[in-house]
Each structure stands twice: as C-alpha cells, then as structure tokens.
Amino acid sequence: MRKYQLLFLSLVLATLNLYSQEVKPSCVSGDCQNGFGKRTYGNGDSYEGTFKGGLLDGQGTYFYKNGTKIIGVFKNNIANGQCKQYNAMGKLSFEGVFYGGKLNGYGKSYDRNDGKLIYKGNWKKGVKDGKGTEFFTNGGSYTGQYKNGIREGQGTMNWPNGDRYVGTYKNNKRDGNGSYYFASGAKHVGENKNGTFNGYGKEYDKSGNLLYEGNYINGTLGGFGTKYYTDGKYIGMWKEGKRDGAGKFYNLEGKLTYDGQWKEDKSQDAWLTSVNSTAKGCIKGNCTEGWGKYVYDNGSYEGFFSNKQKNGYGSYVWKNGDKYFGNWRNNIRHGFGQYLWKNNTKYEGEWTNGKITGYGEKKELNNKYNYGYWENGTLKNKHTFFTNKNSTTGCIAGNCQNGYGKFKWTNGDTFQGFFINGKRRLGRYTYASGNIYFGEFSLNGSFDGNAFFFWKDKSYYAGQYRNNNRDGLGYYKNGKTNKEQIGEWKNGVLSKSYK
C-alpha cells in the first residue's frame, strides 16, 4: 500500500511540474504553438503531441528525464482526461481519468516491478474514494467502500488462507456489524471494533450449529455469554476466552449441575445445586417476605418473596430443564424476563399474567429470531431486522422509529431492541466500555423498569430500575469480591438489605 501511495504521489508531483517546464523550452519539430509538435525542456524532459496557444492541449506524450512517461489527454499544461503512466522499465503503472491534474473517477494502478494490478476503482482528488477493489501482495483482496484513501464503510475482505469478512470498516479496520467466515466453515456474526471481535456476537461451527453467543473483548470471549459443549452448556462470565466469575453449567438434559464461581476455566469450591433434591419447601433464606429459595415438586425458585408468593425478580429451574429468569407478580411471570427451553429455544421480553404478551424476541429451533409484539404466546405483529447499508452510526440496522432496530452513537455505544416513536422501549444498551443494560426503558429513554445489568468487571445486577438507577427490589453480585447485595434499592444504593 505504501509503495503504491509513493508511486501515485510521484505521478501527481510530476504532472504538476508541467506548469514549470517552461525553463528554456525549445520546439525541435512541428508546430508547438497551435498544432502537433515536439518540445524539449531544459531539465531533460520532453513532450510530443498537440499544442494550443503554446500550451500542452490535446493528445500527447510527456517524457520525463528519469524514463517515465505519461500518455493521454492534456489541457492547459495539465493531464486532464484519460491517461496512462509507464515507469522507467516501460511497464504500465497507472491508468485512469484525470481532472485538473488529479485523478477523479475510475482508475487502475499496477505494481511498478511485476506489473500486476494493485487497485481498480473510484478516485477523488487523487485518492481512493468510493467503491473499489484492492489486491494485496499476499494474495488477499478487498472490495468495498473507501473514503479519503482508507477503507471506510461496507466491504468484503478475502484472505489468502480462505477466510472472508463481510461487514463495515472504519480507518482501514473492521468496525461495526459484520460476518467473519473462516476457511474451516465456521463463522462469527456480530460486532467488531479496531479490527477484531468486540461486543455482542455469535459463533457457529461449519454445520451451522451455535457454539457461543455473548460478549467479546479484543477478539476473545469476555463478559457475559453462553457456550455450548458436547456434554452441556455454560451460562455466565468469561475472561480472556476462559470461564471466569459467576456461572452455571447444565447437562445435555438441561439439568443444572453446577452454580458458582469459576477461575481459569475451572469450577471453584462453591455450592452445588440440583432441582432433583429430596428436600422440599423453603430451604434457604426468607420465603415469606424477603429473599429465599423454595423447592417445589416440579422445580425450584430462588428470588424475592412477598406475602409467601414469588414477587419481584427471581429464577425458576424446572426438572424438565426449562428455566426462567425475570420478574414475578403473585406467583406468576409478569414483566420483563427470559425463558430458556431445554431444546435451546428461548424468549426474551415481556410477560403478562404468566403469558408471553408484549414486546419480545424469540429464538427458534433453526437459530432464527422472531421479533415483535406477542399475545398469549402468539406473534401478532412481526418486526423485520435488516442491515442498513452504508450506515456506520445512527440507525445501522432495522427500524429505529417504530419497530426493532439497532442504533449506534458516535462514542461507540449501541442499542438493539424495540423502538416506539423513535424512543427506546426494550432491549440491550451496550456501552463502548463493554457494560450492558438489558431491559425496559421509559418514554424519555432512561433505564426504567425490570432489567439486567452486566459490568465489564463481571459484576451483575438483576432487578428494578428507575431514572437510570437501581431502584426497587434487586440482586447485585460483585464480580471481584463475590459479595452479594440483596434487597431494596434507592437511587443506586442498597437502602434495605434482605441478607
């Protein structure tokens, strides 16, 4: 790339030098005033072609003392039109359309040594700008958008090893949404920053089976995510590609086999739990007014209780492998929550009186998602989710007015979820730092309602928000100390502890 830029710069400078070649010019043949002739210059350069008013004007060839030459159209002593440049070895190094002495429009450049094509595409004021294709010496190539000489916008990169990326670029690096196809057949779909995987993404094997879904940091698993193994799956925190922090492991039957802390991809000494335990009733905490764990005939619940009923945030694990994490009201799922079926389908969204009713997204068996408004488990108003081409900020995907979309701010923050009248309603707000808020929003766009919040340091909170602060019943766990704070919150501070 640098070699080509220097070559092109020399062409521009040489072309501009046509202005100064009136140093001892001499017309050695023909008509150098208004016709066809040959002129030599005191510095050893020469020109053979048409003249008008004593200026280079029309078809001609300009020969430089160093052996390079330009063949093409000139106007007022400047290359202006279709031109070709040959280097001192006689190899074609450049061809394209000039305007005002600089390349504007479609053009090609070639390697000065072997003559191979380096770039073909659009130019503006002497630099690559618009759509083009670049060919690298290692055998790779890029086809897509350029701006001011750098890769910027939608593009496709092909590596010589067979890998391929299709998505957005910024400052010559992968940045934004994209799909990375490995030569092995595996693929990654998700967010990129500074040329690597950063943010929410999904990874699939060559057969299309989902291997991982969750957060990435600098190209490796980091933050909250779910990974699928041959003997089960892990849901929890990651650090530098390893399980690290709070996490749960479920076997292939969907039964919880470990719930606790992980370090360097290994489970630590922590409490093990099984919903098949012979103990029944309230086995931990306060199951009347507070936080506790209660074992039922069909499963177990851990969360907030009020008047001996499930009220507020809590998780329920059924013996058949199904799980629910979210809000309850009078023993019924009500509000924002996540339901995971043992067959790996899941629903994330709103519930009303125990039924899937409200805005939400559902992952089906074929790993495809349905977004929209639901009534009693039936999708009544389906929202489409599509990429908005050439958009790197603002609404980069879907419908950010009234529907399901993704909005990106210039500081790198993103929101993906449901919009009503251009306002956030429900979804994931991902900070550029890696922190994630997932839940409900007020009409003014603030965090408000039932939600989850995952910090980059592996801390997390599940419960109620108001005006961007933890406010109401909630559960918080510090990712560094593993200290729990459970109870009533006010303006982001625990005001009444239930432990």
pLDDT at 12 over 80: no
Q: Give the highest mean pLDDT range of 244-253, 288-297, 310-319.
A: 310-319
pLDDT at 1 over 90: no
- The whole-angstrom separation of Cα 483 and Cα 461 is 12
Give pLDDT tens digits for 384-399.
888 777 788 999 999 9
Q: What is the pLDDT of residue 18?
A: 47
Residue 279 has pLDDT above 80, yes or no: no
pLDDT of residue 276: 40
Q: Which residue has the higher pLDDT, 236 or 3?
A: 236
Over residues 308-354, the pLDDT tens digits come to 999 999 999 998 999 999 999 999 999 999 999 988 899 999 999 99
The C-alpha atoms of residue 69 and residue 57 are separated, in whole angstroms, by 16
Query: What's CA 188's distance to the chain center, in Å?
Result: 11
| Residues linked to residue 202 through DSSP beta bridges, in sequence order | 189, 213
Q: Which is more confident, 10 or 156?
A: 156
The amino acid that residue 390 corresponds to is N
pLDDT attached to residue 171: 95
- State CA 198 to chain mean position distance: 7
Give dist(CA 140, CA 132) in Å, integer.
Answer: 14
Residue-wise pLDDT for 46-99, tens only, equals 999 999 999 999 999 999 999 999 999 999 988 899 999 899 888 998 899 988
Map out the domains of the chain with their CATH numbers: 2-135 (2.20.110), 275-383 (2.20.110), 385-499 (2.20.110)
Residues 468-494: tens digit of each pLDDT:
999 999 999 998 888 899 999 999 999
Provide the 10 A C-beta neighbour count for residue 142.
19
Structure confidence at residue 23 (pLDDT) = 54
Whole-angstrom distance, CA of residue 166 vs CA of residue 156: 4
The candidate with the shortest Cα–Cα distance to 186, out of 161, 208, 218, 202, is 208
Q: How far apart are CA 448 and CA 469, in angstroms?
A: 8
CA distance 482 to 460: 10
Question: At 375, is the secondary structure helix, strand, or coil?
Answer: strand
Residues 143-154: pLDDT tens digits?
999 999 999 999
Q: How far is CA 270 from the centre of its chain?
A: 36
Q: Can you give the pLDDT at residue 476?
A: 95
